[in-house]
Structure 1
Amino acid sequence: MKGFTVEHSVALRSDAATVWRMLVDAGRARAWWGRLESDITHVAQELTVATGSSSVYRVWIESVLPGRTLEFASAYLGVGPVSSVRLDVLGSGPVRLRVTETLESADPATVYQVRRLWQHRFDRLAAALTAAPAGPVDGTAGDAAADDSAPIPDISVRCTLDRPGWRPLHRSVLTEWLPLSGPAWPPRWFYVVDSAGPRPFPIIRWRTHFDDLVALGIEAVRGCPPTEAEVAVTATSASLELRVRHTGWSYLDLDAETREVLRDRFLATWQHTLQRAAHV
């Protein structure tokens, strides 16, 4: 398959046979990947992987080299775009697990999302291997690790600006670098820009403390409690430090992977926003 390739790997303190079982046994894969419709056993097998209450992938098995390599085509919700995924178990113990996913699109936001999803999955896999018993598991194994209510880390980013004396949180310059808009003050919308274009999210609450702090309640998901973002500035005689802390992701009524994707889109926006502040 031609396209853009995303690769990620993780070192696992386990033997190759155990890692392989985590990939192909439905009872074990549930702890880190999702609810496999059945064990993966043969080429040309077709099955679903439910990664949350509303996230489902349709998978077509293309190659199985027991203990070493698993290749499959994958489509989110069972429709295009289709990507090609290869999982390689390298070494005998400890092992390195490597994933290579080839995408139809090289869109930066899509590439970023796919890479972060595999990072999240492999983090859960490493944790599951540490906690998992060595023997057989039943179909309920891994429910806690794959729980949709598992906490999602806060966003925390910062940037040092070589601009002593500048007031980036002053009303007159704030909208020059923060993605905000509205017909009056305070702003009504916070924007995330990705492959779908600029997406507005309602600002439910707005609070400022002089030119040191701006706090926003952002409705990331309609009907859910707003997430809370704080942008603060600390000044020294030689520089400024801008800090962002964005919390509340675990309270969104979404399945685990969808929440992670949404959080990562906001993270990318905050990182880009602080870069803009450095060049305003």
Structure 2
Amino acid sequence: MRGFPVEHSVRLESDPATVWLMLVEAGRAQAWWGRLERDITHVAQELSVSTGSSSLYRVWIESITPGEALEFTSAYLGVSPVSSVRFDLSGAGPVRLCVTETVDSADPATIYQVRRLWQHRFDRLAAALPAMSATDGVSDIAELGARGGPGPIPDISVRRTLDRPGWRPLHRAVLSEWLPLSGPAWPPRWFYVVDSEGPRPFPIVRWHTHFDDLITLGIEAVRGSPPTEAEVAVTAHSASLELQVRHTGWSALDLDAETREVLRDRFLATWQHTLQRAAQV
């Protein structure tokens, strides 16, 4: 398949047989990847991988080299675009597991999203492995996957030092020059995330300011879920300023685990870009 390869690898403190079974056995894959429709057993097999109540991939197995490599094509919700995914195992223990997903877009936000998804999945795989071996019962492992799942999603916390002593970045007159806000009146009504889907507005449901050193805002990241809470603070030093952002509330969103992680990562990228922009205005 022609396209743009995205790679991610992890070093796993386990043996190759156990890691291989974590890829191909449905009961084991549930602990880190998703609910496989059935075990992966042969080339030309078609099956689904459900990663949540509304998140599903259709998978077509292209090649299998037991204990070494697995390759398949995958389509989210069974429709295009189709990507090609390959797992490669090396080492006798610890094991290096590498995934390469070839996607149809070179858009940086898409590449970032794909890599972060595999990073999250491999983190879960590494966390699940200590409790498993190649001889463990599949039913016990399936139960572990159903109980455990992803842990709480961490808060966003970013900061940047600005060589602009005396500047007031949180003052109303300059705030919209670097923070992605809009609205017909004050306070702002929308916070924007810009990614591969273009600029997406998210409603601001609460807005509080404390002079020019602190802004807190509630952002409705998902309709019907509790709003996430963002806090933007500025600390003045003798020769510089420090801008800090803390954005919380991701674990409470009514989304599948991977969808929450993707959304949180997009907000993280937006905040990082926003602080970079503040240093340049």
Q: Normalising by the residue count of structure 1, what TM-score does the alignment of the two structures yield? A: 0.97
Q: CA deviation at 1:195?
A: 1.2
Other structure's SS at 1:260 match: helix
1:218 aligned partner: 219
Q: CA deviation at 1:130?
A: 2.0
Other structure's SS at 1:142 match: helix
Counterpart amino acid of 1:108? P
2:90 aligned partner: 90
- Kindly indicate whether residue 148 of structure 2 is the aligned counterpart of residue 145 of structure 1: yes
Other structure's SS at 1:205 match: strand
Deviations along 1:149-175, one digit per CA (max 9) or x if unpaired, are x41111111111111111111111000
Deviations along 1:35-94, one digit per CA (max 9) or x if unpaired, are 000000100000000011111000000000000100000000000000000001111101
1:54 aligned partner: 54
Q: CA deviation at 1:117?
A: 0.1
Percentage identity across paired residues of the two chains: 80
**Are 1:27 and 1:141, in contact at CA under 8 Å, matched by a contact in 2?**
no
2:116 aligned partner: 116
2:34 aligned partner: 34
Counterpart amino acid of 2:137? P
Deviations along 1:167-212, one digit per CA (max 9) or x if unpaired, are 1111110000000000111000000011111110000000111111
Counterpart amino acid of 1:110? T
Cα distance in 2 for residues equivalent to 1:141 and 1:131: 9
Matched residue pairs, number? Answer: 278
**Are 2:18 and 2:132, in contact at CA under 8 Å, matched by a contact in 1?**
no
Other structure's SS at 1:269 match: helix
Counterpart amino acid of 2:157? S
Q: Normalising by the residue count of structure 2, what TM-score does the alignment of the two structures yield? A: 0.97
Q: CA deviation at 1:145?
A: 2.8
Q: CA deviation at 1:107?
A: 1.2
Moved over 6 A (4+): none
Structure 2: where are the runs of 5+ without partners? none
Cα distance in 2 for residues equivalent to 1:95 and 1:227: 38
Deviations along 1:7-58, one digit per CA (max 9) or x if unpaired, are 0000000000010010001000000000000000100000000011111000
Deviations along 1:218-271, one digit per CA (max 9) or x if unpaired, are 000011100000011111001111111000001110000010111111011001
2:248 aligned partner: 247
What is the 5 A alignment of 1:69-80? Answer: 69-80=69-80
What is the 5 A alignment of 1:122-271? Answer: 122-132=122-132, 135-138=136-139, 139-146=142-149, 150-271=151-272
**Are 2:6 and 2:102, in contact at CA under 8 Å, matched by a contact in 1?**
yes
